[in-house]
């Protein structure tokens, strides 16, 4: 059990048999009445966000998530096939369980698969991935100082905004949390 006073962004708790991740929280001490904690919680399985208010000092159950390192192998048309790096067992994960992470998956990439009570609830991607640009407009000399951006399609099919000096074939470092270009790799 963990006190709601100890909430941190990213903490995983269990409410009504479901796993939730703390997205944001706020301790409120009104001038009149008891203190409370207002939290935004993201359901790990459905990705739905709820707001919940807890009394200060209230205890909630910490959700135990199992993280297993697995390697992404391929898409079989119905789902995404991953291999456990220890047992070499292959499992198929539905696109719904992966969510937006699909656009950053490259074959042979190692990621963490999240399990809650023995069921797959999602994946945990690395914070940064390096992907190659396969399609973008050519850069024009002299346009690099304006801070302008253009659209680029990466090898996974994801579209990101990049500076004008980026060309086809360049390897880019992308932040998987925000989907933003960071730098050339």
At residue 5, does pLDDT exceed 80?
yes
pLDDT-derived band at 21 (thresholds 50, 70, 90) equals confident
Q: How confident is the model at residue 142 (pLDDT cuts 50, 70, 90)?
A: low
What is the predicted pLDDT for the residue at 129? 92
Query: What is the CATH class of 128-184?
Result: mainly beta
Of 3-7, 93-97, 123-127, 130-134, give the range with the top mean pLDDT. Answer: 130-134
Residues 79 and 102: beta-carbon distance below 8 Å: no
The answer to whether residue 104 scores a pLDDT higher than 80 is yes
Rounded percentage of the chain residues whose pLDDT exceeds 90: 36
- The verdict on pTM exceeding 0.75 is no
Q: CATH code for 2-62?
A: 2.30.30.30
**Nearest partner of 168 among 142, 131, 126, judged by Cα:** 131
Separate counts of helices (H) and strands (E) for the chain: 1, 16
CA separation for the pair 8, 21 (Å, rounded): 10
Please name the helix (run of DSSP H) or strand (run of DSSP E) that holds residue 97, with its range, or none.
Answer: helix 95-98
Q: Show me where the domains of the chain are located.
A: 2-62, 66-124, 128-184
CB–CB of 12/23 below 8 Å? no
Predicted local confidence at residue 144, as pLDDT: 56
**Cα 172 to chain centroid, rounded:** 18
pLDDT per residue as tens digits for the range 59-96: 999 988 888 999 999 998 889 999 999 999 999 988 88
Average pLDDT, the chain: 87
- For domain 66-124, the CATH class is mainly beta
Same fold, 2-62 and 66-124: no
pLDDT for residue 172: 93
């Amino acid at each position: 059990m963990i006190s709601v006073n100890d909430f941190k962004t990213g903490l995983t708790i269990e409410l009504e048999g479901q796993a939730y991740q703390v997205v944001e929280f706020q301790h409120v001490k009104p001038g009149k009445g008891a203190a409370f904690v207002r939290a935004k919680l993201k359901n790990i399985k459905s990705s739905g966000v709820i707001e919940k208010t807890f009394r200060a000092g209230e205890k909630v159950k910490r959700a135990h998530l199992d993280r297993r390192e697995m390697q992404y192998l391929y898409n079989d048309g119905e789902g995404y096939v991953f291999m456990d790096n220890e047992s070499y067992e292959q499992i198929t994960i539905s696109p719904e369980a992966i969510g937006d992470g699909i656009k950053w998956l490259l074959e042979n990439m190692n990621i963490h698969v999240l399990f809650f009570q023995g069921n797959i609830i999602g994946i945990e991607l690395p914070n940064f991935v390096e992907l190659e640009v396969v399609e973008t407009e050519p850069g024009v000399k002299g346009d690099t100082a304006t801070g302008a951006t253009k659209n680029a399609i990466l090898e996974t099919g994801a579209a990101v905004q990049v500076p004008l000096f980026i060309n086809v074939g360049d390897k880019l470092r992308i932040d998987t949390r925000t989907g933003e270009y960071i730098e050339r790799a």
